[in-house]
C-alpha cells in the first residue's frame, strides 16, 4: 500500500479538539449503526453507480472524507469495484478523522485496488474542501470520480457554487461528481428544514435510535449550527454557471438523482468524454 505524504493545509488540531472529535465520532457511529440517516440506501446507490462507471480504472477524490467508513465498507464488500480503484485522495479539516480514514481505506483497498498497476495509492490531505480543490487544480490533477458525502451542506451558498465550479476543473473527461447530502425540499426555508429535522431526531418513532438525550443534544448542536442545506436546483444552477463561464468547467448542468429518502439525496453530474471536452475547449 503506497501512501503519499502531504504538508497540512492548516495547523493541526489541539488535544481538546481531538477529545471533542472522539466523543462526536462515537455518537455518529451510533447514527450509522442504526441507519438513522439512511446510510445503507444512500451508499448502496453510490456503490451501484460507481460499479456502473465505464473503464477499468477509477481515481477517487473524496471531499470532507471524515473517516470514510461507509465508503470503505462498500469498497471492501465489492471486489469488482475495489479492484478498479487506482487511487483514493481524501480531504478533511480534521486530523483525527484522517487518521481513521487511512486505517479504513488501507483495510478496504489492501486486498486489491490499483488494477494492473498494483496497490491503490492513498493520499490524505488536511485542510478545507475549497482550499484542497484549488490546490489540486493548480497541480493539474484530474479524477475520475469526485465524491462529496454529507459535507457540502457545511458551506455557504456562495461556497457551494465555488465548490461545483472547482470540481469541474479537476474532473477527468467522462468523470463524475457525486453528491450525497441533505437538501431542502422544494419551497422549504432553512427554518422549516430545522423544524422537520428536529422532529426526526427527537420525536418521530421515538427519535434517532441508540441515542440518549445527551447524544441527541450533541448531534443537534452540530446540525443547528453547521448545517446549511439548499435545494438541488442550487447545484444545478451552479453547474450551469460553471459551464457558461469563459474557459468554463466541464460538468453537466443537470444532475441525475440516483436515490432519495426524506431530505437525503444522491445525485451525479457527469463530465463529457474527451472528444466533447476538447471540442468545447476549442470553441471557448
Write the secondary structure of 6-63 as one string of H (helix), E (strand) and C (coil): CCCCCCCCCHHHHHHHHHHHHHHHHHHHCCCCCHHHHHHHHHHHHHCCCCCCEEEEEE
Contact 120/87 with Cβ under 8 angstroms?
Answer: yes
Per-residue pLDDT band at 117 (split at 50, 70, 90): very low
Task: Give domain limits for the chain.
Answer: 2-188+229-283
User: Which SS3 state, helix, strand or coil, does residue 93 take?
Assistant: coil
Classified as helix, coil or strand, 256 is: strand
CB 237 within 8 A of CB 164: no
Whether the per-residue pLDDT at 16 is higher than 70: the answer is: no
pLDDT at 225: 93
Query: Do residues 99 and 175 touch, judged by C-beta distance below 8 A?
Result: no
Average pLDDT over residues 155-178: 95
Residue 118's pLDDT is 56
CATH of 2-188+229-283, one of 3.40.50.150, 3.40.50.800, 3.10.20.30, 3.40.47.10: 3.40.50.150
Burial tier of 226 (Cβ tally within 10 Å: 0-12, 13-18, 19+): exposed
Strand-pair partners of 181: 265
pTM: 0.87
Q: For position 251, what pLDDT does the model report?
A: 72
Question: Looking at residue 163, what is its pLDDT?
Answer: 96
Confidence label for 14 from pLDDT (cuts 50, 70 and 90): very low
Cβ 193 vs Cβ 229: under 8 Å: yes
Give the pLDDT score at 253.
64
* Per-residue pLDDT at 243: 77
Q: How many other C-beta atoms are found inside a 10 Å radius of the C-beta of residue 156? A: 10
How far, in Å, are 8, 205, 221 from residue 212 at the CA level? Answer: 36, 14, 14
Report how far Cα 150 is from the mean position of its chain's Cα atoms: 6
Mean pLDDT taken over the chain: 87
At 68, is the secondary structure helix, strand, or coil?
A: coil
Higher pLDDT pick, 275 / 168: 168
Amino acid at each position: 500500500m503506497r501512501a503519499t505524504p502531504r504538508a497540512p493545509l492548516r495547523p493541526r488540531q489541539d488535544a481538546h479538539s481531538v477529545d471533542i472529535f472522539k466523543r462526536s465520532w462515537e455518537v455518529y457511529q451510533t447514527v450509522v449503526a442504526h441507519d438513522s440517516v439512511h446510510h445503507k440506501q444512500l451508499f448502496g446507490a453510490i456503490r451501484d453507480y460507481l460499479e456502473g462507471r465505464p473503464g477499468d480504472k477509477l481515481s477517487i477524490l473524496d471531499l470532507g472524507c471524515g473517516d470514510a467508513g461507509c465508503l470503505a465498507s462498500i469498497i471492501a464488500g465489492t471486489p469488482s469495484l475495489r479492484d478498479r480503484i487506482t487511487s483514493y485522495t481524501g480531504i478533511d479539516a480534521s486530523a483525527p478523522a484522517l487518521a481513521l480514514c487511512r486505517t479504513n481505506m488501507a483495510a478496504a483497498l489492501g486486498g486489491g485496488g490499483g488494477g494492473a498497476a498494483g496497490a491503490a495509492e492513498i493520499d490524505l490531505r488536511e485542510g478545507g474542501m475549497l482550499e484542497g480543490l484549488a490546490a489540486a487544480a493548480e497541480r493539474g490533477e484530474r479524477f475520475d470520480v469526485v465524491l462529496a458525502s454529507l459535507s457540502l451542506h457545511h458551506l455557504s451558498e456562495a461556497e457551494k457554487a465555488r465548490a461545483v465550479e472547482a470540481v469541474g476543473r479537476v474532473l477527468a473527461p467522462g468523470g463524475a461528481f457525486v453528491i450525497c447530502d441533505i437538501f431542502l425540499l422544494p419551497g422549504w426555508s432553512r427554518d422549516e428544514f430545522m423544524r422537520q429535522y428536529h422532529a426526526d431526531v427527537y420525536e418521530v418513532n421515538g427519535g434517532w435510535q441508540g441515542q440518549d438525550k445527551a447524544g441527541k443534544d450533541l448531534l443537534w448542536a452540530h446540525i443547528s449550527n453547521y448545517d446549511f442545506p439548499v435545494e438541488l436546483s442550487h447545484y444545478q444552477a451552479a453547474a450551469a454557471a460553471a459551464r457558461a463561464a469563459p474557459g468554463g468547467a466541464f460538468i453537466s448542468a443537470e444532475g441525475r438523482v440516483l436515490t432519495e429518502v426524506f431530505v437525503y439525496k444522491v445525485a451525479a453530474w457527469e463530465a463529457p468524454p474527451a472528444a466533447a471536452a476538447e471540442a468545447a475547449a476549442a470553441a471557448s
